Amino acid sequence: MLARLVAFDTVSHKSNLPLIDFVEDYLAGWGVASTRFPNAAGDKAALFATLGPQDRGGIVLSGHTDVVPVEGQAWSRDPFTLHVEGGRAYGRGAVDMKGFVALALALAPDFLAAGLRTPIHLFFSYDEEVTCLGVIDGIAAMGRTLPRPLAVIVGEPTSLDIADAHKGIRTFLTSIAGFAAHSSKPQLGASAVHAGALLAAELDRMQEEAKEQPDGSGRFDPPYDTVHVGKFHGGIARNILADKAELSWEIRTLPGSDPEAGPARFGRLSETVLARMRKTAPSSTIETVMTSDVPGLAPDPGSEAERLAMRLSGRNHTIAVAYATEAGHFQRAGLPTVVCGPGSIDQAHQPDEYITLEQLQAGEAFMRKLMAECKAG
């Protein structure tokens, strides 16, 4: 099953519909109906299916179907052909996170034959690697047209440790329009690059200040909110005031931090910088658009999801992870949620990405324990 899923090139800027078609047909072959949640363009979709009783909420196994690009990476083998060697299964998405999805699908016949009293819901999304918005429509349907789940397990690779916390992330694109003029007479225009430099410097100050306010839990690395400018470009020549510039930036916040504070501060400075630009170029503009909003996952000690995952994994403690996931969206909707899946995030997003066969076997054992729990009711 993992080999079949890896063979679908579902890099985030491409359609995932061939994979979704395959999953839908596969489940239909076992008599399981699926519900699709397409994106606005119609070229991608999330899929929800219930194994077991249809009239009640159960346990969601949630995984994303998209993967990160392979271009520019030094792969030693075809990234979209699974290659098994030395106790490892290599391929793009093998660990992040088609391994978890493959386990859920491969065990679907066993789930169905078990006579489950508590259903197991399969929920497979898109665009997790870019926006984490592929789960939104499906989550909105839970408790309305779909059963409201008892708990959610997001199967990102944690080596089957139980993650009950991660940072939230908001990403932004700031577009600056100035007015071009000869650099010897700056009073005749306004430089978008100079404006962008002021804004980037403010983001750097925000990062330095955040370092002075570390989280006291000892669970996060680094233990503070992070602010980062990933791209900054503009201008066409040294002796021309730049008429255009763009900044692509992000803020990652700890659970409990105010996600509005940083963007609000940036907005206030943008107004000040814009007023300065308009003294010499009244047509200047600064526009910031939030391109993604991924809520953090906050600890929820004793939740149904945490207690269930502890029983299934044999762990008696939780961890926090540095990366963001779709789990925060489930929690925001009031659904008990943890992150727990086979494989290590250390192997994700790299050339020759892999999951160990040992972790796949551990993941199978985890799901068979879930099957036993759901059979008992």
Q: How does residue 213 score in pLDDT terms, banded at 50, 70 and 90? A: very high
CB under 8 Å to 301, separation ≥6 — which residues?
164
Cα separation, 143 vs 148, whole angstroms: 4
Tens of pLDDT, residues 317-367: 999 998 999 999 999 999 999 999 999 999 999 999 999 999 999 999 999
Scan for tokens 């916040």, then name that residue: 253
Residue 352, Ramachandran bin (φ over 0: left; ψ between -120 and 50: alpha; else beta): left
Provide the percentage of residues in the chain whose pLDDT is more than 70: 100
Say if residues 70 and 92 touch (Cβ distance below 8 Å).
yes
At residue 256, the pLDDT reads 87
pLDDT, average across residues 18-31? 98
pLDDT, average across residues 259-282? 98
At residue 322, the pLDDT reads 87
Q: How does residue 228 score in pLDDT terms, banded at 50, 70 and 90? A: very high
Question: Strand order in 354-356's β-sheet?
Answer: 83-85, 88-90, 354-356
pLDDT, average across residues 292-314? 96
Tens of pLDDT, residues 174-183: 999 999 999 9
**Amino acid letter, residue 165:** A
Cα separation, 299 vs 377, whole angstroms: 26
Least Cα distance to 267 among 187, 207, 206 occurs for: 206
Residues that are catalytic: 66, 128
At residue 175, the pLDDT reads 98
Least Cα distance to 363 among 339, 347, 341 occurs for: 341
At residue 373, the pLDDT reads 96
Domains in the chain, CATH or no CATH each: 2-165+297-376 (3.40.630.10), 168-294 (3.30.70.360)
Say if residues 176 and 249 touch (Cβ distance below 8 Å).
no
Cα separation, 333 vs 188, whole angstroms: 52
